[in-house]
Structure 1
Amino acid sequence: MSNIAKSAVKLSVFSVIMITVTSVDSIRNIPGAALFGSHAISFFLLAGLCFFVPTALVCAEMSTTYPQQGGVYLWGKETLGPNFGFTTVWYQYAENIVYYPPLISFIVATGTYPFFPELAQNNLFMLVMINVIFWALTLINIFGLRLSSIITNVFGTLGLIFPILLIIGLGGYWAYTNPGESQISLSHVSDWLPDFSQSGMGASFTAVVLSLTGLEITTAYASEVDNPQKAYPRALLISTVMILVSLTACSLAISAVVSSDRSSLSEGVILAFQTFFDDLNMPYMLPVIALAIVFGSLASLNNWIIAPTKSLHVAAKDRFMPITLSKENKNQAPVPLLLLQGAIVSVLSLVFILVPNVNQGMWLLNILMTQLYMVMYVCIFISFLVSRRKHHDIERPFRVPGGKFGMILVAALGLISCIVTIFVSFDVPSGMSTETGALGLILGFIAFSLPALGAIAYRNRSKQNYCELTEATVN
Structure 2
Amino acid sequence: MSAEAKDQATSPPPSKQAIRYISWVALALMTTSSVASLRPSPTMAVYGLASIFLYLVPAVVFLLPTALVSAELASGWNGGVYNWVSQGLSKPMGFLAVWCQFAMTIFYYPSLLGFVASTLAYVINPDLASSGLWTAIVIMVCYWAGVWVSSRGTSGVAGLASGGLIIGTLVPGALLVILGIAFLGQGNESAAPMTAGHLLPAWAGLSSLVLIVNNFLSYSGMEMNAVHVSSLRKPGKEFPRAMFLAMGLVLLIFILPALAISWIVPAEELSLTAGVMQAFDAVFAAFDSQWLTPILGVMLVAASLGGMLTWLAGPSRGLLLISRTEGYLPPYLQKLNKHGVQQNILVVQGLVTTVIALAYAFIPDVSSVYWIFSVITTQVYLIMYLLMFVAAVRLRRNQPDHPRGYRAPMLTGLCGVGFAASLAALLIGFVPSSQFGGGSVGIYLAIVAGGALGLGLLVPYLFYRFRKPSWKTGRARGGGAGMRTAEKLVYALVVVALLILGGVAVASYHGQKETEQAYAKAEQLQTALSTAGLRVPYKDSIVRVLGDDGGAVCHDPENALRRGTLYGMITNGAAGPGQRPVLVDNKLLQGQLLIMKVYCPQYVDAFQDVIDDLKDA
Q: Does 1:88 align with 2:97?
A: yes
Q: Is the 8 A contact 2:213 2:424 kept in 1?
A: no
Contact 1:102 1:366 survives alignment (8 Å): no
- Partners of 1:33 and 1:205 within 8 A in 2: no
Name the amino acid aligned to 2:54: F
Question: 2 CA distance for matches of 1:353 and 1:279?
Answer: 37
User: 2:152–2:339: 8 Å Cα contact kept in structure 1?
Assistant: yes
Matched, 1:259 2:236: no
Given the alignment of the two structures, is residue 166 of structure 1 paired with residue 175 of structure 2, yes or no? yes
- Which residue in 2 is equivalent to 1:58? 69
Residue 471 (structure 1) aligns with: none
Higher helix share: 1
Q: Equivalent residue for 1:193?
A: 200
Distance 2:151 2:431 in 1: 40
Q: Which amino acid aligns with 2:347?
A: L
Match of 2:124 among 108, 115, 124: 115
CA shift, 1:388, in A, is 2.1
1:472 paired residue number = none
The sequence identity of aligned pairs, in percent, is 24
Alignment pair present for 1:283 and 2:290: yes
Contact 1:32 1:207 in 2 (8 A): no
| 3-state SS of paired residue (1:289) | helix
Q: 1:46 aligns with which of 57, 82, 106?
A: 57
When the two structures are aligned, how many residues end up with a matched partner?
446
User: Which residue of structure 2 aligns with residue 347 of structure 1?
Assistant: 355
Structure 1: gaps of 5 or more residues: 467-475
* CA distance in structure 2 between the partners assigned to 1:131 and 1:226 by the alignment: 36
Change beyond 3 A, Cα 1:41–1:143: closer
Letter in 2 for 1:87: L
Q: Which has the higher contact order (CA 8 A, sep 6+)?
A: 1
Write the letter of the residue equivalent to 2:337.
N
Shift of residue 301, structure 1, vs aligned partner: 2.2
Q: Does the CA-based 8 Å contact 2:151-2:343 persist in structure 1?
A: yes
Contact 2:41 2:258 in 1 (8 A): yes
Quote the Cα distance in structure 2 between the aligned partners of 1:29 and 1:261: 16
Map of 2:223 onto structure 1? 216
Of 429, 433, 437 in structure 1, the residue corresponding to residue 437 of structure 2 is 433
Q: Distance in 2 between matches of 1:38 and 1:268?
A: 21
Residue 452 (str. 1) matches residue 460 (str. 2):
yes
Which residue pairs with 2:312 in the alignment? 305
Contact 1:11 1:225 in 2 (8 A): no
Q: Which of 326, 330, 334 pairs up with 1:326? A: 334
Could you report, residue by residue, the CA deviation over 1:409-435 in whole angstroms, capped at 9, with x for unpaired residues? 111110111111222244455464164
The alignment yields a C-alpha RMSD, in angstroms, of 3.9
State the match for 1:416 in structure 2.
420
What are the Cα deviations for residues 78-119 of structure 1, in whole angstroms up to 9, with x where unaligned?
122111000000011112232211110111111111233344
Aligned mates of 1:43, 1:161 — CA distance in 2: 21
Where does residue 491 of structure 2 map in the other structure?
none
One-letter amino acid of the counterpart of residue 38, structure 2:
I
Deviates more, 1:52-61 or 1:211-220: 211-220
Q: Could you say what secondary structure the match of 1:215 adopts?
A: coil
> CA offset at residue 254 of structure 1?
3.7
The question of whether the paired residues in 2 share the 8 Å contact of 1:22 and 1:161 is answered with no
Question: For 2:432 and 2:180, how far apart are their aligned partners in 1?
Answer: 28
Matches of 1:194 and 1:334, distance apart in 2? 45
Q: In structure 1, what is the Cα distance between the partners aligned to 2:428 and 2:187?
A: 35
The aligned residue for residue 27 of structure 1 is: 38
| Residues 413 and 435 of structure 1: CA distance in aligned 2, closer, same or farther (over 3 Å) | farther
2:158 counterpart of 1:154: no
Provide TM-score, normalisation by structure 2. 0.62
Instruction: Check whether the contact 1:159–1:293 (CA below 8 A) recurs between aligned residues.
Output: yes
AA aligned to 2:169 is L
> For residues 340 and 420 of structure 2, what CA distance do their matches in structure 1 show?
40
TM-score, normalised on structure 1? 0.79
Q: Say which of 293, 296, 300 aligns to 1:293.
A: 300
Deviations 1:274-303 (A, max 9, x none): 012222112221111111211232233244
User: Distance in 2 between the 1:152 and 1:43 partners?
Assistant: 27
Please give the alpha-carbon distance, in whole angstroms, between the structure 2 residues aligned to 1:143 and 1:242. Answer: 27
Residue 121 of structure 1 deviates from its aligned partner by: 5.1
Q: Which residue of 2 aligns with 1:130?
A: 139
In structure 1, C-alpha distance between the alignment counterparts of 2:151 and 2:470, rounded to whole Å = 35
Q: Does the 8 Å CA contact 1:258/1:272 hold for their aligned counterparts?
A: no
AA matched with 2:87? E
